[in-house]
Structure 1
Amino acid sequence: MLNQNILEQMSLVMENQFIANTNKNIFCNTNQLSFQKNTMIALLKFRKFICQLSEEQIDYMVHKYQNQFLDEFYKVNQYIYFNETSQEYIRTIYLTLLNELEDLDLSLEEIEDRHYKRITTFIKNSNPAIAQINHNDNRMAQQLVCAQYSGKFLCDLLNLNTQEIKEPVLDIGCGNHGNLVTYLRSKNIKAYGIDRETSAYGCTSIDWFAFNYGSMKWNTIISNLSFTSHFLYHHLENEEIANRYASTYMNILASLKKQGQWIYAPSIPFFEELLPNHLYQVERTSIHKDFSKTVITKR
C-alpha cells in the first residue's frame, strides 16, 4: 500500500510541475526552468522511498512522464518532431531523473540543474530549429499551433460537397476532436481519421509516418494545415525528416483508388511538379493570396 501511495504522490507532483512549466521557454537567456517550491517540498519527503518501488511501477512512472513531456511540447509547437529514438531518449531522461532522486547524496538543486540541462540539450539536438527561434529573452515559448476548425468550416474552406464526396474518406491530421470526421459521419459518410493525439470516434492515434495507408484503399483523402504544412516546414529545416515526408507522400498517393482524390492545403508546388502527368492530375486553387489548396486525382 505504501508503494502505491508513493507512486500516486510522485505522479501528482510531476503532473503539477509540468503544469507549472507550461508554455515556458526553456531557451530563454534569463530564465532557467526550475522545480517549483511545492515540488521541492514533496521530493524531500518522498525521494527516500523511490527505492521501494518495483520495476513495473518505475516503468509506469517513466511512461507517464514521457507522455506528459510529449503533450506539453506538441501543445506549444505543432511542428516539433520526435522520432522513435528521440521518444526512447525522453524515457531515459525521466528514468535518469528517478535514479538521481534515489541517490540521497545528490542535492535537489543539483538534480534540478542536471535535469533541465539534459532536456535543453536534447531539444537542441533533436529539433534545432525550435531551439533557434526560442533562443531569446522571451520567457514564454513561441507558439505554432494549428486551430481546431469545425467540420462544416473545413468543408466550406476546401470546397467539399458532402453529396458528391466518395467514401471511404481518410482525414490525415484530424485533430484531437476529429471535427471533420465527426461531421462527415453525421452525413452517413464512411470517414476515418489519424493524428498523433486524438480521442475522437473513428480516429486513430498514430504517427502519420507509421500508419499503414494500404494500396488502392481510399477514394478521398483530406489533410488541411497538417501533413503538407509540416512537409513545407521540414523541407526548409531538416533534410532527413523532409525525405520521410516525401516517401510518405508517395505512400499516400499509392493508397488512392483509381479516380480517387487527395485534397490538401497548403499546396507544395516544389513536389507536385515532380509527379508524372500520366499517373496524376494536379489542380491547384488559390484560397488566399499566400495560400492555396491542391486536389490530386489518381488516373
Structure 2
Amino acid sequence: MNTKNKIFIFINNSYIKINARTNIFYELPKNDDFPLGNYVAKYIIFHEKELNNYLNYIDSVEINDFAKKVAGYSTERTIKTVIKLNQYVEVDTILANKLYDLYEDFMVKVFEKLYLNGSINFAWINRIVMEHQLKLSSILGTIDELRIFSNTKKFVEPIPCSEYSVALQLRILDINIERIKEPILDFGCGSKATLVHYLRKLGLEAYGVDRITNNKLYTIQTDWFNYELKPNYWGTIISHLSFSNHFKRTHFKKNGNYIEYARKYMELLNSLKPGGEFYYTPNLPFIEQFLSPKSYKINKYFLNYDVQENREPLDIMSVRIEKLIKATIENEQQIQALSIY
C-alpha cells in the first residue's frame, strides 16, 4: 500500500475512532488528555521516516496537490460527521470553504515541517493539532444546529435520523405503485436510497438525491439547493420526512432560511410534468395555502394509526399535490407572493 492511501485510511480511522461522537465544543480540563492530538501526533511520529521519504521523492507542486486532496477529503468527512450528529445542519459554500482552508493550512504546515526538518517532535505536532481543533470549533460554532451540544460533555448523542422501510414510506404517503408516474425522484433519499432501489427492481425509472449517499448507482450526492431541477420533467417526486421536514423546521426558526426553501419548493412543483405528482410529509400549510387551485390539486391525509394503540393523532399530514394539465407557473411572481407568509 502506498503512502498516499495510508494517509487517507488514517484520516478515515481518525473520524471513526476519535471524531465520530467527540464533542468539538467540549472545554478540555487542564489535566485531561487530548485524544485526537495524541492520535495524530503518534501516527505522524511513528511514520515520519516514510512520510519524509515520500515528500522528498515528489516535487513541491505534487506536495501542494496532495495537500489539497487531503484537505478536500477531510472537509467532506467533517461535513458528513456533523450531519450525522444533527440532520438539520446546513453547510453552505462559504462554511465549506472555511473548513477546506483550515485543513489545507494544517496539512501544509505538517508537510513543510517534514520536508524541511525531516522529523517532528510530539510537543510541536500536539500543539498545532490543538490550535487546529480550536479553529475548527470556532468555524462549526457558527452552525446553530451544533450549538445544542453542551460544552461540558466530552461525547454527544446524535439527533435521531432514521431511514424508513419502503413499506412504511408507501403507506404513509399513500402511494399506489400501480399508478405511479415516471420518471421518479426521491428528494432526500437517504444514504442507502432504499426506496430508489426498490422501485428500480420493479422496472421503474427512479433516481435519488441526498447530501450523503453510500451507493452512487441511480443517486446523486449533493445538497438539494444545488440540485438543478428540469421544468416539466418528473412524473413523481417523493420526499418522506426530508425536504418538507427541513422546510417546516426552518419556517419556525427565528433566522431560518425560509425564502430559499420556498423557492426550492416552487422549483420542485415546476419540475413536475403536467399531471405529475409531489408526495411528501409533513404537510406545509403555510405555503400550500398560496398555491392556485387552477394550477394544483392538493390532497391531504392524516397519518394512519393503529386504533388499538390508543394514540392521540399527531397534527401531521401526508400530502399529494398534482400539477394540473393546464397549469402555468410564473416562478418569480409565485415566490414574491409566497415570501409574505
Query: Which residue among 95, 109, 113 is the counterpart of 1:100?
Result: 109
Following superposition, the deviation at residue 163 of structure 1 comes to: 0.8
2:64 and 2:108 in contact (8 A); partners too: no
d(CA) in 1 for partners of 2:79, 2:25: 17
Q: Does 1:174 align with 2:189?
A: yes
> Which of 152, 155, 159 does residue 140 from structure 1 map onto?
155
CA distance in 2, matches of 1:248, 1:41: 47
Q: Which residue of 2 aligns with 1:111?
A: 128
RMSD value, Cα: 2.5
> Match of 1:40, as an amino acid?
A
User: Structure 1 residue aligned with 2:317, among 287, 292, 297?
Assistant: 292
Partner of 1:264: 280
CA 1:148–1:56 in 2, change beyond 3 Å: closer, same or farther? same
- Residue of structure 1 equivalent to 2:40: 39
- For 1:21 and 1:120, the matched residues in 2 are separated by 12
Range with greater deviation from structure 2 (103-112 or 137-146)? 103-112
1:227 aligns with 243
SS at the partner of 2:226?
coil
Match for 1:27 among 9, 22, 25?
25
How many angstroms does 1:29 deviate by? 4.5
Is the 2:229–2:271 contact (alpha carbons within 8 Å) kept by the matching residues of 1? yes
Moved more, 37-46 or 258-267: 37-46
Distance 1:123 1:46, change over 3 A: same
| Residue segments in structure 2 that go unaligned for 5+ positions in a row | 57-61, 114-119, 304-312, 325-341
Structure 1 residue 94 displacement after superposition: 0.5
Q: CA deviation at 1:296?
A: 1.3
User: Within 1, Cα distance between the matches of 2:78 and 2:149?
Assistant: 18
Contact 1:219 1:261 survives alignment (8 Å) = yes
| Structure 1 residues 12-91: aligned runs within 5 Å | 12-19=9-16, 20-29=18-27, 34-35=35-36, 37-46=38-47, 49=52, 52=56, 54-91=63-100
Q: What whole-Å deviation, never above 9, does each CA across 1:258-289 have from its counterpart, x for those lacking one?
A: 22111101111112122223222222221151
Gaps of 5+ in 1: none
Q: How does 1:189-268 map to 2 (within 5 A)?
A: 189-198=204-213, 199-237=215-253, 239=255, 241-268=257-284
Bigger Cα Rg: 2
* Aligned counterparts of 2:150 and 2:191: Cα–Cα separation in 1: 30
> 1:29·1:135 contact (CA, 8 Å) conserved in 2?
no
Q: What is the TM-score normalised by the length of structure 1?
A: 0.88
- Counterpart Cα distance in 1 of 2:221 and 2:168: 23
Displacement of 1:222 in angstroms is 0.5
Q: How many residues align?
A: 294
User: Which secondary structure state, in structure 1, belongs to the residue aligned with residue 179 of structure 2?
Assistant: coil
In structure 1, distance between residues paired with 2:126 and 2:39: 14
Which is worse superposed, 84-93 or 13-22?
13-22
Aligned partner of 1:120 in structure 2 is: 137
Give % identity. Answer: 26
Matches of 2:285 and 2:175, distance apart in 1 = 21
CA deviation vs aligned residue, 1:112-149 (integer Å, no higher than 9, x gap): 22111111111122x12321x11343333242242122
